[in-house]
Structure 1
Amino acid sequence: MIDKKLLSLLVCPVSKAPLEYDADRQELVCRASGLVYPVRDGIPVMLESEARQLTLEERERLDRD
C-alpha cells in the first residue's frame, strides 16, 4: 500500500505528470508517458530503466476509466 500523501507528491520522472497507484499489481502508472513503475516492498522504484511500457490493452482500459 502506498501512502496517499506520498502518492500526491510523486510524479513521473519522464513526463512530470501525476501517477496512479494500481494496488492489485503493485505499480505506479503514468498515463502521460505510458510508463509503469514497480513498487517493491512498499517502496516505489522511480527509475526509467526499471519502468515498463503500458500495453495496448492497459491503455484502452485506462481510457475507459
Structure 2
Amino acid sequence: MPLEAGLLEILACPACHSALDERDSELVCTSKECGLAYPVRDDIPVLLVDEARHPA
C-alpha cells in the first residue's frame, strides 16, 4: 500500500534533510550525495539512519 502523498511531502531524510521518493518497500533519499534507502514496515516508514541501507 503506497504512502499518502501528503505524508511524502512532509517527510525528509533524517541524515541530510532532502526529499524522499517511494520505491518498492523503501523510501529513498533524493540527494545524490546521501541516497540512503529507509525501509517501510507494515506501512510505517522507519526513518532511522541505523536502519537505512546505503546506496550500492
Q: Same fold (TM over 0.5)?
A: yes
State which structure, 1 or 2, has the greater radius of gyration over its C-alpha atoms: 1
Q: What is the distance in 2 between the residues matched to 1:27 and 1:47?
A: 12
> Displacement, 1:5?
0.2
Count of residues paired in the alignment: 53
Map of 1:63 onto structure 2: none
Identify, as 1 or 2, the structure richer in helix: 1
> Displacement, 1:34?
1.6
Query: What fraction of aligned residue pairs are identical, expressed as a percent?
Result: 45
Map of 1:30 onto structure 2: 29
Higher RCO, 1 vs 2 (CA within 8 Å, ≥6 residues apart): 2
Give the TM-score normalised by the residue count of structure 1.
0.77
Q: What is the distance in 2 between the residues matched to 1:48 and 1:6?
A: 19
Q: Which portions of structure 1, spanning 4 or more consecutive aligned residues, are displaced by more than 2 angstroms?
A: none
Give the TM-score normalised by the residue count of structure 2.
0.88
Provide structure 1 residue ranges, at least 5 long, that are not aligned to the other structure.
Answer: 56-65
